[in-house]
Amino acid sequence: MLHKRIIPVLLLKDGSLIKTRRFKGKNYIGDPCNTVKIFNELNADELIVLDIGKSKAGTPPDFDLVSSIAKECFMPLTYGGGITSIEDAKKLFRSGVEKISINAANFTNDHFGQILANEFGSQALVGGIDLKKDIFGKTRIWNHAQNSFFSYEPKSYVQKLEKMGFGELFITSVDNEGTWAGAAIDLIGPLAESVGIPCILNGGINDIDNIYAALDSSASAVGVSSLFIYQKKNFGVLVNIPDEIQNYS
């Protein structure tokens, strides 16, 4: 029996750990390596680290930083942010990253995912997808690097990424991210059902029951950020995983 995964999601910007709200603002959280150490002690299922400024700025990953994070991380580590070449990917895997997440590069290079899948295998490849409602209330694919919507319809886009060779999808609801409004289960559930690969539902988780509800959906895993790094809503930083979650599975 496979246990569904509960995955802390950490955001990097300029070498620091930060937290955003609907992809905007940035609250300083602390030192990335120390935080990873804490999640390690707490036996987190997995860790996702995204350097959110990289694709927008067109700069490569901070390999030294990722490497020092990986040294503290004895659980599976996914890194995303600014990956545009096989060389980038190779360096990341060598430093101790299990999976890389590709988001912005999929908008400009149709073949990148496939090339990476052939080289490193699907299981090491996560497709990052951000969903956002447009002014008409229609859910669309959001390109954070360009600050614009992408033309693909969400369902055909997730299926396209599956065909390209991605082994897993990390789907974030921009409108829920950092809001403590609860996960967008209705939005992401149907997308997870339309592909054969595992999907991680991310954005908006506000309490333990919400985690269980998300895991009851067709998602294979849930990404949790605010709930694990703040004491509670509008409170200070306190990196923790509730006991109940630590004993889950």
Partner 1 sequence: MVTVLDLQCGNIGSVVNMLRRLDVECSVANCSGQLAHADRIIIPGVGGFNSAVLKLNKTIDMRAQLMELAQDSRIPLMGICLGMQLLFDESEEGEGVGLGLIEGKVKKLKPCGQKIPHMGWNKIQINKSDPLFRGVDTSSKFYFVHSFAAEPSNNTEILATTEYGQPFCSIVRKQNIYGVQFHPEKSHKFGMQLLKNFCEIPNAA
With a CB cutoff of 8 Å and minimum separation 6, the contacts of 234 are: none
Q: Which of 67, 114, 159, 240 binds partner 1 (CB under 8 A)?
A: 67
Q: Which of 28, 31, 57, 90 binds partner 1 (CB under 8 A)?
A: 90
Q: Which of 20, 122, 159, 179 binds partner 1 (CB under 8 A)?
A: 122
Catalytic residue, candidates 45, 51, 130, 175:
130
Distance CA 202, CA 213 (A): 13
Distance CA 246, CA 182 (A): 20
163 binds partner 1 (CB under 8 A): no
What does the block give as tokens for 74?
Answer: 């004895």
151 binds partner 1 (CB under 8 A): no
Which one of the spans 172-180, 194-202, 222-230, 236-244 is the region binding partner 1 (CB under 8 A)? 194-202
Which one of the spans 19-27, 38-46, 139-147, 231-239 is the region binding partner 1 (CB under 8 A)? 38-46
Number of residues that bind partner 1 (CB under 8 A): 39
Nearer to partner 1, 41 or 186 (CB): 41
What b/e readout covers 165-195, taking b as 16+ CB neighbours within 10 angstroms?
Answer: bbbbbbbbbbbbbbbbbbbbbebbbebbeeb
99 binds partner 1 (CB under 8 A): yes
146 binds partner 1 (CB under 8 A): no
Q: Which of 27, 37, 88, 96 binds partner 1 (CB under 8 A)?
A: 96
Residue whose C-alpha is closest to residue 144's, from 99, 107, 181: 107
Residue whose C-alpha is closest to residue 199's, from 183, 180, 178, 210: 183
Distance CA 201, CA 168 (A): 11
Nearer to partner 1, 4 or 132 (CB): 4
The position carrying tokens 């990390």 is 170
Bridge partners, residue 51, by sequence: 12
247 binds partner 1 (CB under 8 A): no
Q: Which of 108, 118, 148, 151 binds partner 1 (CB under 8 A)?
A: 118
Residue whose C-alpha is closest to residue 53's, from 26, 19, 14: 14
111 binds partner 1 (CB under 8 A): no
Distance CA 157, CA 38 (A): 36
Q: Which of 21, 71, 138, 232 binds partner 1 (CB under 8 A)?
A: 71
Q: Which of 30, 60, 76, 182 binds partner 1 (CB under 8 A)?
A: 76
In the annotation, is 130 catalytic?
yes
Distance CA 182, CA 3 (A): 22
The site for partner 1 (CB under 8 A) is made up of: 1-5, 40, 43, 45-46, 67, 70-71, 74-77, 90, 93-99, 118-124, 167-168, 196-198, 220-221, 249
Catalytic residues, which ones?
130
